[in-house]
Amino acid sequence: MKFIKKSRNPEIWEQWDWVWHFSAYSLLILNIILVYNDEPRIPNFLFFLVLSALLGLWYIPFINIFTLRSWEYPKRGALYLVPGWAIWAGLISLTADSLLLMGIFFPLVFSRFPIRWAIGLTFFQTVGLFFLYIALYPTERWFTLLLLIAGLLAISTIIGGFITSIIKQSTERQRLIDDLTRSQANLMRVEREAGRLTERQRLARDIHDSVAQHFTSIIMHLSASRLSKAGSVQAQIQQAEDAAREGLDEIRRIVWDMQPEPIEKASLIEAVEEMAARWSAENRAQVKVKVTGVPRPLPESAETALLRISQEAMHNIHKHAQAKHVNITFSFMEDIFAMDIADDGLGFDPSKISAGFGLKTMRDRIEELNGTLTVESERGRGTAIAVSLPIMENNDDQDNHHG
């Protein structure tokens, strides 16, 4: 026989298998009681009990492995029926009351075999039962008995066909669900790998665009100091030291980006508020966080990107702006989320610095999510960074990690 792996969530028809098992053993016990109470009692009652016990043992595999089906290898399944039929025939030979046990075999055949095999086996079983009964208990009403058995065969075939079609549809649906579950798991694994690859590429880009340039500058200044006159050596060393400090700041920023996500244990707003409070204390500047609209969770990838952008923006404000006040605003609209970070610092000319201050990294992050990032700044009048992101209500990436 072929064993079909039991699903973690059994189908309805599988959940009701216990009804057939309960009915089978109930009929077996009822048959014993009826034969025991017969007057006169059959002379081989002990042998009758032995055969009844054997039939009960023969049925056990259908309970322990209730998804045992013989659809792809029906010949093997039919062979397993032969011992059961033999035991049943022995019981009928001892007493005609054992015809009652047909309630065990008919459901078994239709729930374990393809419909064509089930009909064939039921026909063989019914015809064999008829001739066995006529041979053991001759009667003049054999034709009436034949019509009765033929009617029962027709009814059981119709009901069995209906049950079999339900089982086949249910099994096919479960197979599709299992395939979909595996596909979703594979997709999640691919997305995680893609996320790690993207982060590695970003890290490599950051190192190349910032740290590597600072190291190159240090080497150039130190090399120039060897060829410079005594009066200009100090200036070259000072420039190399400045480049080293800037490189150290960039390394710290990169290491900060690699730390565990604060939003793993808090929402985006809570994580930014915590970061803003810490930044405010370290830089002696006032940071205000404001929320408009009804806050709702965003996809985890979006919240991570927005947190990193806010960190990068605060890093740039600390490094370049000399701001005293910073305002961070989260706006939840119907289909758009916006984050605005504005400061009253020195400002700069965006046309001259299009990819500096980590702006390229921030743009790359938000564009990967189909969002936009704009920068408005003017010397002496501060800087404003505006991030907008489309919101999809049924986004499959949404995560309930906020509780």
Place of tokens 């009667």: 139
Q: What is the helix (H) or strand (E) element at residue 296, kind and residue range? A: none
Alpha-helical runs (H) found in 258-384: 268-283, 300-316, 359-367
Distance between terminal CA atoms of the chain? 47
Query: Encoding tokens for residue 147?
Result: 């019509």
CA triple 288-289-291, angle to 5 deg: 140
CA distances from 245 to 187, 218, 242, 333 (A): 43, 10, 5, 42
Lowest mean pLDDT among 76-85, 143-152, 160-169: 160-169
For residue range 325-359, list pLDDT tens digits in order. Answer: 999 999 999 899 999 999 999 988 877 765 555 78
Nearest residue to 398 (alpha-carbon basis) of 311, 310, 268: 268
For residue range 250-271, list pLDDT tens digits in order. Answer: 777 676 666 545 555 678 899 8
- The mean pLDDT value of the chain amounts to 79
pLDDT confidence of residue 47: 93
What are residue 233's phi and psi, to 5 degrees?
-60, -40
Cβ within 8 Å of residue 159, ≥6 positions away? 110
pLDDT confidence of residue 327: 96
Helices (H) and strands (E) in the chain, counts: 13, 7
Per-residue confidence band for 390, with pLDDT thresholds at 50, 70 and 90: very high
So where are the chain's domains?
A: 2-138, 263-403
The amino acid at residue 125 is: Q
pLDDT confidence of residue 14: 60
Residue 328 three-state SS:
strand
Where does 263-403 sit in CATH, by number? 3.30.565.10
Segment 275-290 mean pLDDT = 88
Percent helix, strand, coil in the chain (nearest 5)? 65, 10, 25
Lowest mean pLDDT among 57-66, 184-193, 394-403: 394-403
CA distances from 233 to 100, 214, 217, 222 (A): 111, 19, 15, 9
Residue 30 three-state SS:
helix
Share of the chain above pLDDT 90, in %: 21
> 19 with 103: CB under 8 angstroms?
no
Q: Is the peptide bond before 295 cis (omega within 30 degrees of 0)?
A: no
Q: What is the pTM of this model?
A: 0.43
pLDDT confidence of residue 58: 92
The amino acid at residue 126 is: T
Place of tokens 């028809």: 13
For residue range 15-59, list pLDDT tens digits in order. Answer: 667 788 888 999 999 999 999 888 787 888 999 999 999 999 999
Alpha-helical runs (H) found in 207-260: 212-227, 230-257
Strand partners, 68: 3
Q: What is the DSSP string of 66-77?
A: TTEE-SS-HHHH
